[in-house]
Amino acid sequence: MDHEPIPEEPRALPLQRPSGRRTFLKWTGGAAAAALLAACDESPITAEAAADGRTGNRNRGPVTNGADAVTLDFSSDIGVLNYAYALEQLEAAFYILVTDNFYSGGRQEERDVLNDLRKHEIIHREFFRTALGDAAIPDLAFDFSSINTRARGRVLQLAQDFEDIGVSAYNGAAKLIEDTEYLVVAGKIVSVEARHASAIADLRTPNGSAFAPRAFDLARDPREVLALAAPFVATQINVVNLPA
């Protein structure tokens, strides 16, 4: 499969929306990026302006290059680990995008938290990539075109959603894991995702109970998780050998 990995530091936001799932915009560095930047109105937009459409430029996220399709085979732990790897790829790509294109008007604490989340999700991603080796799925393609990175509310809502989805994914996958060592490492990650989710909720609503909305967290089936993630994943993810 021919693809370009998502670069760690994207240099420009695309000006055009892709016409469909298979039309990927290429990341380029150097001169091409400079040309894009020169043509792009970089003035920041407020969350209010973004919300009611009065934006001078979209500041939309990209659609990135990646595999057309992958299959997650849950008949073995490799499938479960690749499932986790897929979600960590998504989270890492999201946080790289939003921390490289920070919204204005937030507190420094928000930047600090989002930068920490970026690091953690990159670590999780690279951990799974390394652990899976030749058995790893390729880099996925993501569609962040619906994300206005300059809209604080939207960015924090999505961070909340991704972390909550991640927690429910790990909780739901626990029973699918056969190797105890893999169960342990998944357990080590899920509590960190929950710490993330709590911190994001705290940033959004400092004195509420949103840091922990329920006494028992959700445990979602992988198919439900992937359906929730689908708006942001351009790669077709096929699932096989999951119990009905």
Return d(Cα 125, Cα 163) in angstroms, integer. 14
- Rank residues 19 and 180 by Cβ distance to other proteins and give the closer one: 180
Q: Is 180 in the site for other proteins (CB under 8 A)?
A: yes
Compute the CA torsion angle 31, 7, 166, 186 (nearest 10 deg). Answer: -170
- Binding to other proteins by residue 181, rule CB under 8 A? yes
Cα distances (Å, whole numbers) of residue 125 to 36, 105, 132, 203: 29, 30, 11, 24
Task: Examine residue 244 and tell whether it contacts other proteins (CB under 8 A).
Answer: yes
Shortest spacing between CB 182 and other proteins, in angstroms: 8
Using CB under 8 A, pick the residue from 12, 158, 167, 233 that binds other proteins: 167
Contact region with other proteins (CB under 8 A), list: 24-32, 60-68, 134-142, 217-225: 217-225
- Residue 110 found at the interface with other proteins (CB under 8 A): no
**Within positions 111 to 140, which residues make up the interface with other proteins, using CB under 8 A?**
113, 116, 119-120, 122-124, 126-127, 130-131
Report how far apart, in Å, the C-alpha atoms of 146 and of each of 158, 233, 235 are. 11, 12, 16
Read off the DSSP letter of residue 69.
E
- Other CB atoms within 10 A of residue 51 CB: 14
Residues 35-54 that bind other proteins (CB under 8 A): none
Q: How near is the Cβ of 23 to other proteins at its closest, in Å? A: 29
Q: Smallest Cα–Cα separation from 95: which of 42, 40, 37, 161?
A: 161
Contact 178, 77 (CB under 8 A): yes
Contact positions toward other proteins, by CB under 8 A?
A: 113, 116, 119-120, 122-124, 126-127, 130-131, 161, 164, 167, 170-172, 174-175, 177, 180-185, 187-199, 202, 207-209, 211-221, 223-224, 227-228, 244
